[in-house]
Chain A
Amino acid sequence: MAAESMSAAGERSGKGGRSKRPAPDTGLEEKDQLPIFENAALDEAEDGGDLTDSDESLFSGLEDSGSDSGGEGDNDGEEEEEEEGVDDDGRGVEEKSMKDKFSKLDVKDIRNTVGNIPMEWYKDYPHIGYDLDGKKIYKPIRNKDELDEFLDKMENPDYWRTVPDKMTGTDIRLTDEQIDLVHRIQRGQYGDTKFDPHEPSVDFFTHETMIHPVTNHPAHKRSFIPSLIEKEKVSKLVHAIKMGWIKPRKPRDDTPLYYDLWAREDPNAILGRHKMHVPAPKLKLPGHEESYNPPPEYLLTEEEKLAWEHQEPEERKLNFLPRKHASFRAVPAFSRFIHERFERCLDLYLCPRQRKMRVNVDPEDLIPKLPKPKDLQPFPTTQALVYTGHTNLVRCISASPSGQWLASGSDDCTVRFWEVCTARCMRTIEVEGTVRGIAWNPNPALCLVALTVDQSIIIVNPCLGDKFLCNATDQLITSFEKPEEVPVQPVEWTAAEGETFEKGFRLIIKHNKLVKQVTWHGKGDYLATVIPDNGNAQVLIHQLSKRRSQNPFRKNKGMVQCVLFHPIRPFFFVATQRYVRVYNLLKQELTKKLLTNCKWVSSMAVHPGGDNVICGSYDSRLAWFDLDLSTKPYKVLRHHKKALRGVAFHKHYPLFASASDDGTVIVCHGMVYSDLLQNPLIVPVKLLRGHEITRDLGVLDVTFHPTQPWLFSSGADCTIRLFT
């Protein structure tokens, strides 16, 4: 303990007042040291000692050092100031003491005892303090005014080195050494020119423990007794260590920041997770338009720029405006750079990923391979004739079973009969009302045409062709004899007479509601009519030979659009808005209900074989039913762009046609095989144009020539056209 305190003291003294100790090796330097240092060192050494004592010693010390200033010992007034500096480092002390020195030089005996006080307290007094004897120190008489000051400044060569002393109020002229000292301190060097701050420090004491204590005090008792407090603390720590509360510091991780991570790269170590991993797609690489100097065509025009600005940022095709800069130095920073990187970050961790298999499809492969239309000939290909004469839209047409005549009914309240080959209008019959339906009797032994005119059906003998045949027909009609008991009939049958007979009218069947459609049975004796607004009796079947009518259905099952007789078997097709019902007339029961999947059926046609039905609908679809296959359409064709108005099958050739409001007629090859296992082949073969669209209506009806692969179509442009 003693040794310890000793060495501490040594260190302390070694800091500042090395020279004070009578050490043999430092003694030499003592002489050369500046008084200032001496001064400071002394103070430090005598720290806490008696003030007057230190004054004395200081004085004597200064004398010893043999510095130039002889009379400096007598400024005891400075002493207090120096007291302050003691606690600081050597620097502070130096400076303070320096100031004192200047004042000490000229003024001989005056030591001010007022201490370290602001001197302006003595501003109003004639004296400036008290000397050691307690007598007032008077301020020197100062009669210098500004002018004197100036003159002094001009004339006195030493003016720059005179400094006023605050303590005594006198001017002091600095000596050369003092000025040098100031300069050195200003430069941040040591005040002593010869002082070497870097000399190796030599311990004053030896580092070995000496046998004799430095002080003579007997050791204190506490130095023999172990400290209880310490013990308590240590035991606490020991306990904490035991309990595991204090853990030894973990050794610092000394692996380098980066090393060869993939040194033992094992391709088999790929986790199962990686199979589900969807790597983030790379960012799109920039195109020409992103260049700082793009080709001129990639720059946006004014309109495009405007459009770009009006678009939502998400909708924009480019997320920047292409710009051209004349030189590289003119390119500014891209203001959205950080945004873009941030968005990429968001995409990386927020965007749901999904693996999408994108098959590179050649569009040509998607087109189905169909037999060439050329191989499926014959079918109508070109427009051959135009039958003009009607003045309003032609609603319906019908070809005679012989194929020589064509009948057409129009909104101009006329029915015209044409010769097919010459397009000549053979007869025109005027009726009272629009003709909505027309049907030529399919029996070749009869020459009759049924028309629907408003609320009645008129059976007309056009008197065309074989006179003999016409007469036979007339005879057949007139040979009717009224039965005895007249059954109650829903309609009124009247035979035409007089003028109307001359016109060709033979029979008139009067209904009480508007008649929409009329169709013959294949044998030519029965004909069915559609009366849409007639409640339960929407469909009526008339028998020509017996002039009898009957309502086959008891119940109304929706608006009937059209009806058809099966060409061979005793079946009857009734198309309502969405379904086609097939009734067996013999058994008087419903056999089938075909679901068309259409919104509104407009027309229907039956294949001459009788096993296939096509339905055209106002939602521009054509549904082909194979009755043997299913009640759902075998195929739905959506060839037309607008509503379908009419469909037709050819009697002999495997052809069917559909007419639509878009002004086109599409002819399809529809081959039905007798082999039940083979599905029908449907190939569109020709798209026929010719009719003009008037009042949003195109082609209204279509029918085939009974023997030739020819096609008639009637349109809203008042014409009938023949395609061959």
Chain B
Amino acid sequence: MGGLEKKKHERGAATNYITRNKARKKLQLSLADFRRLCILKGIYPHEPKHKKKVNKGSTAPRTFYLIKDIKFLLHEPIVNKFRDYKVFVRKLRKAYGKAEWGTVERLKDNKPVYKLDHVVKERYPTFIDALRDLDDALSMCFLFATFPRTGKCHVQTIQLCRRLTVEFMNFVIASRSLRKVFLSIKGIYYQAEILGQLITWIVPYSFAHDHPTDVDYRVMATFTEFFTTILGFVNFRLYQSLNLLYPPKLENKPEDSVLKQEDEEKYAMDSESYMEKLAALGASLARVVSSNEEDDGAPDEFPADGENAELLEERQKEQQILEKQKKLFEGMKFFLNREVPRESLAFVIRCFGGQVSWDKSLCIGAAYLVTDETITHQVVDRPNLDKQFINRYYIQPQWIFDSVNGKTLLPVEDYFLGVSLPPHLSPFVEEKDGDYIPPEKLKLLAIQRGESTYENESQSEEEDEEDQESEDEADDDMDETEKQDEARLKNMEAQKVKRNKLNVKVTAGTVKTENKAQASQREQAEEKRLAIMMMKKKEKYLYNKIMFGKKRKVRETNKLAAKRKAHDDGLKAEKKKSKKIKSQ
């Protein structure tokens, strides 16, 4: 073994990691700049496998970066721009102080700017990578787009975020790639499938934000800087893939209604209204090559054999369902009342091929009026409405979301005006066996399977039950007295038997017939118990942990089921009561 022996912490894992402070010193950056750089370049700490080894024997809590990452940051052009910017700010301050306005002008003209294009390309070498990581970008941009134009962050950023999100929504509409929507108490979750990637984002409800004080907006702004860049490039690419113009242009249809044109005239300047019209999500986008839309022919079919055939069939089935879902609202005409959130509903409806309009005073781009006879559904979110048209359904907004998630048009009766709504379920939950499935989900699954009778059956069952119960009730009064009598009789009998038993007598023992299956089961259980005893300590720990998790799951499921049952029972009891009162 020749060569010098290396010291203890100069080889192995310790050489691959560097602490944050050391990294910062190596890069000669302030903490704030280091943070910004890390955010932009996507550098994050790594948890070493053996922390003590990396930490040179100490157990102090430190964050470690990969040394390769830091070296990679060393020759980043943005770092120089940071320094330039610092110098620029210093110069500008000086010029202001001396009131040299000419210098100020000149400096401002030469303000150092940096671009993040290369960073995006570096972090996401392929387009799919970028799509995969779009979740956070979208959520953040949607949040920033709702910020007020005061304080907090630059107005340009907010405007850019709004523009990008609107563009993205328009793309989702054009490509019909929305899959799931969920109204949570936090905001609205959307899930779209773009190029096979599932992208989920959350949009806050459109209320003014209560801006918290314990949030560092600079960090968020830095993230947004990167997110807007990536979202812009992704948008460009997506628009290109659909042969749409970018920046998006609205399709000019000659048969546009008079209503629209009137609107446009009254509205502000063209350039301003354009963005808003785009944001209204009412019209479709112009294409580079005007082509009839649905002409991509069915994919070629290849003869498949054996197992593949089944798979293929399954896939085809899925595809069919998907196609059906995409055209869910085709041929329907919606009208949004003033009180419903316009943007989310218009977005969802248009994503599934429906036509939508709204009150003219609400937003630009309303296609038709309330009085239009051809409207099929009017979305209303108030207890009642004075003037109603006969030939359209008045539904609550949840119907649209539930239908989308259920992939079929649900019966509208449950969602009429003023009706108490059925629960809104999360479409993201996929129940495995053993998990608790709420009864509403079961119902939905039955509808999807095409068993429209499920509901009726259950209803009729309920009715039957009710009938029985009512009969029972009638019998109850009789029963009580009878029962008491019976109990008394039984008691007497038991006493008699006891008295008999006092006379000691040897009775022939009855042969216990042991249930064979039960016995074998018991045996097996014992065998298992004994085998568990023989497990190694490590495995036993793991086994216990797994079993604990399983048991907890079962416990939770049971708890939910019990809660539901209690709730349903309570409802039934109330119903009964009200019935009784009515009958009286």
B29-67 at interface with A (beta carbon < 8 Å)? 35, 38-39, 43-47, 49, 63-64, 66
Instruction: Contact check, A687 vs B39: say whether CB atoms are below 8 A apart.
Output: no
Are A290 and B185 CB-contacts (below 8 A) given A279-B132, A328-B398, A341-B220? yes
Are A290 and B542 CB-contacts (below 8 A) given A282-B200, A373-B527? no
From residue A627, how far is it (CB to closest CB) to chain B in Å?
A: 22
Q: Which residue of B lies closest to A639 (CB)?
A: B533
Instruction: Contact check, A684 vs B209: say whether CB atoms are below 8 A apart.
Output: no
Q: What are the interface flags for B133-150 relative to A under an 8 Å C-beta threshold, 1 for contact and 0 otherwise?
A: 101100110010000000
Instruction: Contact check, B204 vs A329: say whether CB atoms are below 8 A apart.
Output: no
The interface residues of chain A, by DSSP majority, are classed as loop
Q: Which residue of A lies closest to B570 (CB)?
A: A296
Q: Which residue of A lies closest to B126 (CB)?
A: A265
Are A353 and B44 CB-contacts (below 8 A) given A265-B127, A279-B132, A334-B187? yes
From residue B219, how far is it (CB to closest CB) to chain A in Å?
A: 6
Question: A363 at interface (Cβ–Cβ under 8 A)?
Answer: yes
Q: In the complex, A323 Cα to B126 Cα: how many Å?
A: 42
From residue B162, how far is it (CB to closest CB) to chain A in Å?
A: 15
B200-217 at interface with A (beta carbon < 8 Å)? 200, 204-205, 207-212, 214-216
Question: B223 at interface (Cβ–Cβ under 8 A)?
Answer: yes
Q: Which residue of A lies closest to B209 (CB)?
A: A338
On chain B, the residues within 8 Å of A348 by CB distance are 39, 44, 136, 223
Question: B534 at interface (Cβ–Cβ under 8 A)?
Answer: yes
On chain A, the residues within 8 Å of B396 by CB distance are 327-328
Instruction: Contact check, A373 vs B530: say whether CB atoms are below 8 A apart.
Output: yes
Are A288 and B425 CB-contacts (below 8 A) given A267-B125, A270-B125, A296-B564? yes
Q: What are the interface flags for A403-435 relative to B under an 8 Å C-beta threshold, 1 for contact and 0 otherwise?
A: 000000000000000000000000000000000
Q: In the complex, A272 Cα to B438 Cα: how many Å?
A: 47
Binds A, one of B90-98, B169-177, B234-242: B234-242
Q: In the complex, A287 Cα to B441 Cα: how many Å?
A: 13
Instruction: Contact check, B397 vs A295: say whether CB atoms are below 8 A apart.
Output: no
Question: A339 at interface (Cβ–Cβ under 8 A)?
Answer: yes
Are A367 and B543 CB-contacts (below 8 A) given A291-B426, A295-B440, A331-B185? yes
Contact of B189 among A286, A342, A637 (CB under 8 A): A286
Instruction: Contact check, A294 vs B223: say whether CB atoms are below 8 A apart.
Output: no
On chain B, the residues within 8 Å of A345 by CB distance are 39, 140, 219-220, 223
Question: B449 at interface (Cβ–Cβ under 8 A)?
Answer: no
Q: Which residue of B lies closest to A291 (CB)?
A: B424
Contact of B185 among A274, A323, A342 (CB under 8 A): A323
Instruction: Contact check, A354 vs B232: say whether CB atoms are below 8 A apart.
Output: no
On chain A, the residues within 8 Å of B208 by CB distance are 333
Binds A, one of B114-122, B282-290, B472-480: B114-122
Question: A273 at interface (Cβ–Cβ under 8 A)?
Answer: yes
Instruction: Contact check, A261 vs B120: say whether CB atoms are below 8 A apart.
Output: yes
Q: What are the interface flags for B523-535 relative to A under an 8 Å C-beta threshold, 1 for contact and 0 otherwise?
A: 0001111111111
Q: Which residue of A lies closest to B142 (CB)?
A: A341
Question: A350 at interface (Cβ–Cβ under 8 A)?
Answer: yes
Instruction: Contact check, A366 vs B542: say whether CB atoms are below 8 A apart.
Output: yes
Question: B567 at interface (Cβ–Cβ under 8 A)?
Answer: yes
Q: In the complex, A262 Cα to B232 Cα: how many Å?
A: 12
On chain B, the residues within 8 Å of A306 by CB distance are none
On chain B, the residues within 8 Å of A28 by CB distance are none
Q: Which residue of A lies closest to B547 (CB)?
A: A363
From residue B124, how far is it (CB to closest CB) to chain A in Å?
A: 8
Q: In the complex, A265 Cα to B124 Cα: how many Å?
A: 10
On chain A, the residues within 8 Å of B339 by CB distance are 329
From residue A67, how far is it (CB to closest CB) to chain B in Å?
A: 44
B497-553 at interface with A (beta carbon < 8 Å)? 526-535, 537, 539, 542-543, 546-547, 550
Are A337 and B381 CB-contacts (below 8 A) given A328-B398, A368-B535? no
Instruction: Contact check, B64 vs A341: say whether CB atoms are below 8 A apart.
Output: no
Question: A22 at interface (Cβ–Cβ under 8 A)?
Answer: no
Are A342 and B563 CB-contacts (below 8 A) given A351-B45, A687-B529? no
From residue B30, how far is it (CB to closest CB) to chain A in Å?
A: 16
On chain A, the residues within 8 Å of B440 by CB distance are 295
From residue B16, how far is it (CB to closest CB) to chain A in Å?
A: 9
Q: In the complex, A327 Cα to B397 Cα: how many Å?
A: 9
Instruction: Contact check, B530 vs A687: say whether CB atoms are below 8 A apart.
Output: yes
Instruction: Contact check, B423 vs A293: say whether CB atoms are below 8 A apart.
Output: yes
Question: B276 at interface (Cβ–Cβ under 8 A)?
Answer: no
- Size category of the A interface is 35 or more
Instruction: Contact check, B340 vs A320: say whether CB atoms are below 8 A apart.
Output: no
Are A351 and B44 CB-contacts (below 8 A) given A258-B233, A261-B233, A329-B381? yes
Contact of A368 among B66, B125, B526, B534 (CB under 8 A): B534
Question: B184 at interface (Cβ–Cβ under 8 A)?
Answer: yes
Q: Which residue of A lies closest to B232 (CB)?
A: A258
Instruction: Contact check, A297 vs B438: say whether CB atoms are below 8 A apart.
Output: yes
Contact of A342 among B127, B216, B546 (CB under 8 A): B216
Q: In the complex, A266 Cα to B209 Cα: how many Å?
A: 43
Q: In the complex, A334 Cα to B206 Cα: how many Å?
A: 10
Question: B69 at interface (Cβ–Cβ under 8 A)?
Answer: yes
Q: What are the interface flags for A344-357 relative to B under an 8 Å C-beta threshold, 1 for contact and 0 otherwise?
A: 11101111111000
Question: B182 at interface (Cβ–Cβ under 8 A)?
Answer: yes
Are A354 and B47 CB-contacts (below 8 A) given A286-B182, A287-B428, A342-B216? yes
From residue B139, how far is it (CB to closest CB) to chain A in Å?
A: 6
Question: B488 at interface (Cβ–Cβ under 8 A)?
Answer: no
Question: A47 at interface (Cβ–Cβ under 8 A)?
Answer: no
Question: A276 at interface (Cβ–Cβ under 8 A)?
Answer: yes
Task: Kindly name the residue among B44, B182, B339 whose own CB sees the greatest number of chain A CB atoms within 10 A.
Answer: B44
Are A260 and B240 CB-contacts (below 8 A) given A344-B136, A367-B532? yes
On chain A, the residues within 8 Å of B564 by CB distance are 295-297
Q: In the complex, A353 Cα to B45 Cα: how many Å?
A: 6
Question: A118 at interface (Cβ–Cβ under 8 A)?
Answer: no
From residue A391, how far is it (CB to closest CB) to chain B in Å?
A: 28
Q: In the complex, A296 Cα to B240 Cα: how many Å?
A: 46
Q: Which residue of B lies closest to A262 (CB)?
A: B127
Q: In the complex, A283 Cα to B136 Cα: how many Å?
A: 9
Q: In the complex, A283 Cα to B187 Cα: how many Å?
A: 15
Are A366 and B543 CB-contacts (below 8 A) given A265-B126, A291-B425, A352-B63? yes
Instruction: Contact check, B140 vs A341: say whether CB atoms are below 8 A apart.
Output: yes
Q: Which residue of A lies closest to B65 (CB)?
A: A352
Instruction: Contact check, A341 vs B139: say whether CB atoms are below 8 A apart.
Output: yes
Instruction: Contact check, A267 vs B126: say whether CB atoms are below 8 A apart.
Output: yes
Question: A493 at interface (Cβ–Cβ under 8 A)?
Answer: no
From residue A689, how far is it (CB to closest CB) to chain B in Å?
A: 11
Q: In the complex, A286 Cα to B550 Cα: how many Å?
A: 21
On chain A, the residues within 8 Å of B381 by CB distance are 327-329
A-B contact pairs, 26 of them (CB 8 A): A261-B120, A270-B125, A271-B122, A278-B46, A280-B44, A282-B135, A285-B189, A288-B423, A288-B426, A290-B182, A293-B421, A293-B424, A297-B567, A301-B563, A338-B211, A341-B140, A345-B39, A348-B223, A349-B39, A349-B43, A351-B45, A352-B46, A363-B543, A363-B550, A366-B535, A685-B530
Interface residues of B (CB under 8 A from A): 35, 38-39, 43-47, 49, 63-64, 66, 68-69, 72, 117, 120-122, 125-127, 130, 132-133, 135-136, 139-140, 143, 182-187, 189, 200, 204-205, 207-212, 214-216, 219-220, 223, 232-233, 235-237, 240, 246, 339-341, 381-382, 396-398, 420-421, 423-426, 428-429, 438-440, 526-535, 537, 539, 542-543, 546-547, 550, 560-561, 563-564, 567
Across chains A and B, which 7 residue pairs bring their CB atoms closest together, nearest first? Answer: A333-B207, A285-B428, A354-B47, A297-B564, A352-B45, A352-B47, A297-B563
Interface residues of A (CB under 8 A from B): 257-262, 265-267, 269-274, 276, 278-280, 282-283, 285-288, 290-298, 301, 320, 322-323, 325-329, 331-335, 337-342, 344-346, 348-354, 361, 363, 366-370, 372-373, 637-639, 666, 682-687
Starting from the known contacts A257-B232, A286-B189, A683-B534, 16 additional A-B residue pairs (CB-CB under 8 Å) come to: A276-B68, A280-B133, A283-B135, A287-B429, A292-B183, A327-B381, A328-B341, A334-B185, A337-B209, A339-B214, A354-B46, A370-B531, A639-B533, A666-B533, A683-B530, A686-B530
